[in-house]
Amino acid sequence: MNMITLIVALPLLAAFLLPISDRALGSVSRFVGPIVLLMNIILIMTLWQKSEGAPFALALGGFRPPLGISFYVDQLALLFALLVSILALMLWPYKADTNPRVFGLMLLLTGAASGMALSGDLFNIYVFFELLSVASFGLVASLRTGAAFAATTRYLIISGFGTVMALTGVALIYTQTGTLNLAHLATLAPQQLDNATGLTAFALILLGIGVKAELFPVNTWVPEVYATASRRVSALMAGLVSKLAVLVIVRLMVLIFPQPEAMQLMLALGVAGVLIGELSAWRARDFVRMLSFSSIGQLGLVFVAFSIPGEAGILAGLAVALHHLLVKPALFLLAERWGGSLGRLEGAGRRSPLAAGLFVLFALSLVGVPPLPGFWAKLLTIVGLLGQAAPLYWFAAAVVLVATVAEVNYLFRFGLTLFKREEQSAQVHKPHARIDLGTVSVMGVVLLTAMFLIAPLGERMQTIADQTTDRGLYISTVLGPVGGAR
């Protein structure tokens, strides 16, 4: 079981050695990254099978848990670690002229993301989060245009601001409790953190980590960065990086901050994100910016879903997050050749029917047309929201419905543009690269498979949600008789 640390150590090791191997072996080193990611995928699958879904904890360095750092490996952590490697492999920069440094940054990003999924220590999560951030800064700037540098600078400053807020939150928690281990904190939280200090610490950490999760009000970087970064990087940021930030917040919320006030804060910020994101997407005049704002709206929906108390919220949030994790990267890959204003795209769909068909499929799922998976995700959220007594939840349900109307409107408008009769002024767009279209097709197949297997998938996610909400299990796994250390 200790082997699970390899999924963090191997990408970092490969990234450290990449500049050397690039000099020595030349283009052979291009394959190092995908090979490491494949090894990660195999490793996670075998371990998942071996553990049979039971969570286990690791004491890193062999020091007993509250003193040393521990990793907590349950199904949620394994699921996200697996998705990190798979998505990074799908969105790997395969282009021949890619700067080798970009490969290193991708590997560092996956190592950090895997670490974030597994870690059970507050400060360790912060460190991996910073590693993820810095790697994403490099990737975002990698196109090296003036606009990309400016957008990255603004993104970095907002992130840096968030870092300071999160670190202050960590300091507050440490001052109150004197520990950083999440399981240990979970045992102390009811006495020590169920007060104004705890709530402020949560708000600060939410604000800090929320920068990556495109949380209102620290999401002003989103449209600029996604417009100036390469589409693959945008897809990775919107699909993967944001979800890992959400994962951390969910872990903290379940284990340490289960107060209703914390939930309501998240709900309010999520609702603001949904409103602003979807309305701005409705006003957007080009595809990439439409996708960026829609991503803000969807992430807002994720927060709204996770703020529903109890298991129902975790289930709904997980469904929305996983759905967005599949759909948004696919749409960003389609945008690779569909940049430019909407007016210029008239008739683009007629020239590449496969791409247009895939767009329609993903757009329908994003809106939530039954029987596509997006429908079930939205249904779970709205039912969960209406099941709550507080009026804020009812308001949130209304906002989600209004946002869906806006979503239908702009996606439908874009779809119509794609199939409009060609006009003479329409620009000739290059057809999609085969690798992009192939990747999107695979994602489409996954989406359709999920549609047919929705019942078993739902059961699977229910067990994951059960396990995630089980605080007692987390505490006893980490602090109890140190299981899994062997």
The site for other proteins, by CB under 8 A, has a size of 99
Residue selected from 34, 68, 310, 415 as contacting other proteins according to rule CB under 8 A: 68
User: What is the footprint of other proteins within residues 441-460 (CB under 8 A)?
Assistant: none
Q: Does 383 bind other proteins (CB under 8 A)?
A: no
Q: Where are the alpha helices (DSSP H) in 52-145?
A: 75-90, 100-118, 122-140
Contact 59, 70 (CB under 8 A): yes
Q: Where are the beta strands (DSSP E) in 228-329?
A: none
Q: What is the sign of the dihedral through the CA atoms of 203, 240, 301 and 295?
A: positive
Read off φ and ψ for residue 424, nearest 5 degrees. Answer: -70, -35
Residue selected from 72, 92, 137, 303 as contacting other proteins according to rule CB under 8 A: 137
CA 33 to chain centre: 21
Residue selected from 29, 85, 110, 163 as contacting other proteins according to rule CB under 8 A: 163
Contacts of residue 135, Cβ cutoff 8 Å, sequence gap at least 6 = 105, 106, 108, 109, 112
Q: Does 138 bind other proteins (CB under 8 A)?
A: yes
Rounded CA-CA distance 280/110 in Å is 31
Read off φ and ψ for residue 181, nearest 5 degrees. Answer: -65, 130
Q: Does 31 bind other proteins (CB under 8 A)?
A: no
Q: Does 426 bind other proteins (CB under 8 A)?
A: no
Q: Does 61 bind other proteins (CB under 8 A)?
A: yes
Mask of contacts with other proteins, 6-25, x by CB under 8 A? Answer: x-xx--xx-xxxxxx--x--
Mask of contacts with other proteins, 310-349, x by CB under 8 A? Answer: -----------------------------xxx-xx-----
Shortest distance, CB of residue 418 to other proteins, whole angstroms? 16
Contacts of residue 152, Cβ cutoff 8 Å, sequence gap at least 6 = 137, 140, 141, 225, 228
User: What is the footprint of other proteins within residues 96-135 (CB under 8 A)?
Assistant: 99, 101-102, 104-105, 108, 111-112, 115, 123-124, 127-128, 130-131, 134-135
Rounded CA-CA distance 122/185 in Å is 9
User: What is the footprint of other proteins within residues 275-304 (CB under 8 A)?
Assistant: 280, 283-286, 288-289
User: What is the footprint of other proteins within residues 176-215 (CB under 8 A)?
Assistant: 176-181, 184, 188, 196-197, 200
Q: Does 231 bind other proteins (CB under 8 A)?
A: no
